Structure 1
Amino acid sequence: MAGGGDDLIFVYGTLKRGFYNHYLLEDLIRAGAAAYLGPCTTVEAYPLVCGPYGIPYLVNLPGSGQRIRGELYSVSSVHGLARLDELEGVDRGHYERLPVAVAAEGGGQDAEAYFAHRDFGEKLWKRCGEVGLSEFNVELGKRYVRREDRPIDYCFIDDIHKFILEGDSSLSS
């Protein structure tokens, strides 16, 4: 792969194959900045919930929820991670890229995943009744509202807090 070291990234939502944001990983693979390594599952249980606009969130509460099924990628530290971090809003307080242990073919791996930001992750889990998913699947993917299809006045952080505080079900479709 091109440029720098490689990091293992566990994806569980719209970055998976067959989902809306997978185009980014496809671009990175074509550029030699990422490689698909296969399916995997988190070693520990974590909450996985859907928030406003059908956006999936992994919450950093190990031992809660279920073991999460997803995919493992090797991503260039130099070229790939910056593009993934931008998509996931790391600098804007949307997600945090944190360590996660996954079980893949051939044994366990230390990887990283994009978790709901600590400012709202646990609140989102509670808002969802502390009932989580084991996988973001095709049915849930149909509920995902693409960024360009969200309201003109859409604000990620404001809508998360509105969803949590007011339980606005209009944001969850």
Structure 2
Amino acid sequence: MQTIDKLERKINALPIDVVVPFSDVNIQGVSKDTIRKYLHRLHERGSISIVQRGHFKRIEPFHELLFVYGSLKKGFYNNILLEKSTRRLGKASTVGKFAMFEDSFGNYPYLVNKPINRILGELYEIQRKELLERIDEFEGVPDYYKRKRIKVKTHEGVCFAYAYIRVGVDIPVDQKPLKVWKNNSDYKVGELKSFLEKLQ
């Protein structure tokens, strides 16, 4: 059995929300530094919460699915928010149809509850409640976006996941609705050329 599995079994025997010093966790033949490293890994997994220096508590497991379609996707600049306490489950698409448009500067896309396209994105499992709350804050919930459960499809089948959807916004008349948001320079240049050609 691997060290992290032994550690997790020990921790699962602890009561929930009781603060424990790191030094109370011992595994024969494993150094304190290694145990500390694995405790931090279990914190990222959402098994424990490090509450202060050298102390942790076991917490209730937290697992929510999040469908992302913009700058939170892998390889995009805000994916850093999903690097810890998440598991990327792969590509996904919405089962229902939505309209997706870019903000006026092309920095990010947003979904509108209008049945036009099935949207392509990615599915993540969020493993810490406070991370989902942090993403809510980042997305401007509830004023800018609403977090709603929608049906999404992956290679494993259909499930419900949260997605961020704009409400009370005017649909841009000068934009073609997107199926997938790319935000790369070649794509932007192509869109600009297409726009300029229409003006001639």
Aligned partner of 1:119 in structure 2 is 168
Unaligned stretches of 5+ residues in structure 2: 1-44, 47-58, 189-200
Extract structure 1 runs of 4+ deviating beyond 4 A. 140-143
What's 1:13 paired with? Answer: 70
Give the aligned partner of residue 136 of structure 1.
181
Query: Which of 42, 49, 56 lines up with 2:101 in the alignment?
Result: 49
Partner of 2:160: 110
Do the aligned partners of 1:65 and 1:130 also contact (CA within 8 Å) in 2? no
Letter in 1 for 2:129: V
In the alignment, which residue of structure 1 is the partner of 2:123?
A: 72
Once the two structures are superposed, residues 77-100 of structure 1 have per-residue CA deviations (whole angstroms, 9 ceiling, x without a partner) of 512201111110114x11111111
Distance 1:138 1:34, change over 3 A: same
TM-score, normalising length: structure 1: 0.68
Aligned-residue CA RMSD in angstroms?
Answer: 2.1
- Which residue identity does 1:22 align to in structure 2? N
User: How far does the alpha carbon of each residue in 1:48-86 deviate from its partner, in whole angstroms, 9 at most, with x for none?
Assistant: 10022212101122xx22111100000135122011111
For residues 5 and 107 of structure 1, what CA distance do their matches in structure 2 show?
22
Provide the C-alpha distance between the structure 2 equivalents of 1:139 and 1:73, rounded to a whole number of angstroms: 22
2:86 maps to: 34
Q: Which segments of 5 or more consecutive residues in structure 1 lack a partner in the other structure?
A: 144-173
Report the Cα distance in structure 2 between the residues aligned to 1:34 and 1:19, rounded to whole angstroms: 16
Tell me how many residue pairs correspond in the alignment.
130
Higher relative contact order (Cα pairs below 8 Å, separated by 6+ residues): 1
Report SS of the residue matched to 2:129.
coil
Give, as a single letter, the amino acid of the residue that structure 1 aligns with 2:148: L
Give aligned-pair identity as a percent.
35
1:131 to 1:65, Cα distance in 2 relative to 1, 3 A: farther
Measure the CA separation in 2 of the matches of 1:46 and 1:79. 28
Q: Distance in 1 between matches of 2:185 and 2:77?
A: 12
- The one-letter code matched in structure 1 to 2:184 is E
Distance in structure 2 (CA, Å) of the matches to 1:95 and 1:53? 18
